[in-house]
Amino acid sequence: MTEDLSAIFSPERLSGGGTGPLYVKLRRTLEEAVKVGRLKHGDALPPERDIAEFAAVSRVTVRKAIDDLVSEGILVRRHGSGTFVAKPVSKVEQRLSQLTSFTEDMARRGMTARSEWLHKGIHTPSPDEMMILGLAADTRVSRLSRLRIADDQPLAIEHASVSGEFLPDPSVVTTSLYAELEKRQVRPVRAVQRISATNMKEADAGLLGVPVGAAGLSIERISYLGSGRAVEFTRSLYRGDAYDFVAELTIGAN
Amino acid sequence: MTEDLSAIFSPERLSGGGTGPLYVKLRRTLEEAVKVGRLKHGDALPPERDIAEFAAVSRVTVRKAIDDLVSEGILVRRHGSGTFVAKPVSKVEQRLSQLTSFTEDMARRGMTARSEWLHKGIHTPSPDEMMILGLAADTRVSRLSRLRIADDQPLAIEHASVSGEFLPDPSVVTTSLYAELEKRQVRPVRAVQRISATNMKEADAGLLGVPVGAAGLSIERISYLGSGRAVEFTRSLYRGDAYDFVAELTIGAN
DNA sequence: GTAAATGGTATTTTTTTGGTATTGTATGGA
DNA sequence: TCCATACAATACCAAAAAAATACCATTTAC
ipTM: 0.48
B131 interaction partners in chain A (CB closer than 8 Å): 132, 192-194, 220, 222, 246
Residue B2 has pLDDT above 60, yes or no: no
More confident residue, B169 or A88: B169
What local confidence, expressed as pLDDT, does residue B39 receive?
83
Least trusted range by pLDDT, from A108-117, B115-124, B156-165, B245-254: B245-254
Residue B79 CA and nucleotide D13 C1' are separated, in Å, by 12
Q: What's the pLDDT score for residue A175?
A: 67
Q: Which nucleotide is nearest to B84 (CA to C1')?
A: C18
Residue A239 reports pLDDT greater than 50: yes
Spell out the domain ranges in chain A: 5-85, 91-250
Q: Work out the average pLDDT over B78-93.
A: 66
Q: Answer yes or no: is pLDDT of A64 > 90.
A: yes
pLDDT of residue A161: 94
CA distance to partner chain B, nearest, from residue A216 (Å): 19
Average pLDDT over chain A reads 74
For residues B64 and A199, the model is more confident at: B64
For residues A84 and B122, give the distance between their C-alpha atoms in angstroms, rounded to a whole number.
Answer: 47
Interchain CB contact of A28 with B (< 8 Å): no
Query: CB neighbours (10 Å) of residue A63?
Result: 17
How far, in Å, CA of B51 to CA of B46, rounded? 6
Residue B130 has pLDDT above 70, yes or no: yes
pLDDT at position A18 over 50: yes
Mean pLDDT in residue range B184-190: 73
Identify the band that residue B246 occupies on the pLDDT scale cut at 50, 70 and 90.
very low
pLDDT for B119 beyond 50: yes
* pLDDT at residue A227 tops 80: no
Q: Which residues of B touch A134 (CB under 8 A)?
A: 190, 192, 222, 224, 228, 230
As a whole number, the mean pLDDT across chain B is 73
Helix axes A48-55, A59-71, angle to 10 degrees: 120
Q: Which CATH number fits domain B5-85: 2.40.110.20, 1.10.1370.10, 3.40.50.300, 1.10.10.10?
A: 1.10.10.10
CA gap A8, A46 in Å, rounded: 10
pLDDT at B113: 67
Domain A91-250: give its CATH superfamily.
Chorismate lyase-like (3.40.1410.10)
- Identify the band that residue B99 occupies on the pLDDT scale cut at 50, 70 and 90: very low
CATH 3.40.1410.10 applies to domain B102-250? yes
Q: Which of B132, B136, B229 sits opposite A228 (nearest CB)?
A: B229
φ, ψ dihedrals at A128, nearest 5°: -60, -45
The whole-number pLDDT of residue A209 equals: 79
What's the pLDDT at B7? 65
Contact residues on chain B for A190, CB-CB shorter than 8 A: 134
How far apart are alpha carbons A157 and A149 in whole angstroms? 9
Closest in A130, A225, A250 to B192, CB measured: A130
Q: Minimum mean pLDDT among A77-91, A130-144, A184-198, B42-56: which range?
A: A184-198
Across the interface, of A130, A135, A224, the residue whose CB is closest to B134 is A224
Q: Is A152 helix (H, G, I), strand (E, B) or coil?
A: coil
Higher pLDDT, B5 or A103: B5
Which strand D nucleotides have any atom less than 7 A from protein CB atoms? 6-11, 14-22, 25-28
Shortest CA gap B151–chain A (Å): 32
- To the nearest whole Å, the CA of A153 is away from the closest chain B CA by 30
Q: What is the pLDDT of residue A104?
A: 46
